[in-house]
Amino acid sequence: MTGPSVDMRQVRLTLGQTRILHDINLHVPAGSIHALIGPNGAGKSSLIKTLMGQMPHQGALTLTWPAQPGVIGYVPQALEFDRTLPMTVNDFMGVMTQRRPAFFGLSSRNTQAIDDALTRVGMHHKRRRRMGALSGGERQRIMLAQALIPAPALLVLDEPMAALDEAGVAVFEDLLGYWRNSGVTVLWVEHDLDAVRRLADRVTGLNHRIVFEGEPAKVLSTEQLLALFSAHPRINAHDVATVLPAQTRVAA
């Protein structure tokens, strides 16, 4: 199933007296891997939360599905939980991937799906380990595994590579290829510019407003990156003027 396209038109976000996002016009094509880069505090995570409906905003946010609306998956920047809880990897996956209460146990169908997902990320052998005993990179692999169940049509990734070691990065790159081949639309916040150059179809540079957008090979120049990561980024009008098609508004 092909994922939706994502369109933001004049999206603005203000927290208190501080403007976090300024007039964001962004188009993410259906089935593409679209990276979002920028300095710390530039509004990347806020944009993600806006897309997920967690931040009140002004402007229009539209998802255009090719057929029926599908599943939206999310991998946060970090997993915060009480590490003293006696919750195993299996317990966590059950809570995250099924609707019925966890104390009823896992259905046979969900058990198989969890086994397959954990195998995919190389964590099946640790399914009975406590979540609190895992390393940061191992927990991040578990978060990637839960994003596989149920299969998403739109996947939002907030710095998924941050805690991964070399083997974990290889797992992530394999998953990204799998999602691309499956037609999943991926919006991916990332700091690793080399990974973005190799893996993304398009990239947007964000520093509270859009500084540039395009194919990585064309826009990730030294000049553009200096503009993006400077305290007062230079904005090129032709980089941010995006014409968006008329579609059904899903949030405002």
**Domain spans in the chain, listed from the N-terminal domain onward:** 1-71+186-252
Decide if 144 contacts 62 (C-beta within 8 A): no
Supply the pLDDT for residue 97.
80
Instruction: Identify the band that residue 121 occupies on the pLDDT scale cut at 50, 70 and 90.
Output: very high
User: In terms of Cα–Cα distance, which of 54, 52, 42, 48 is closest to 18?
Assistant: 42
d(CA 4, CA 62): 9
Supply the pLDDT for residue 103.
53
Supply the pLDDT for residue 244.
36
Mean pLDDT confidence for 20-34: 97
Query: Long-range contacts for 215-218 (Cβ within 8 Å, ≥24 apart)?
Result: 216/35
Q: Does domain 1-71+186-252 have CATH number 3.20.20.140?
A: no
Reading the block at residue 129, the tokens are: 């380990």
d(CA 21, CA 46): 8
Predicted TM-score (pTM) of the model is: 0.86
First vs last C-alpha separation in the chain:
27
**pLDDT over threshold 60, residue 40:** yes
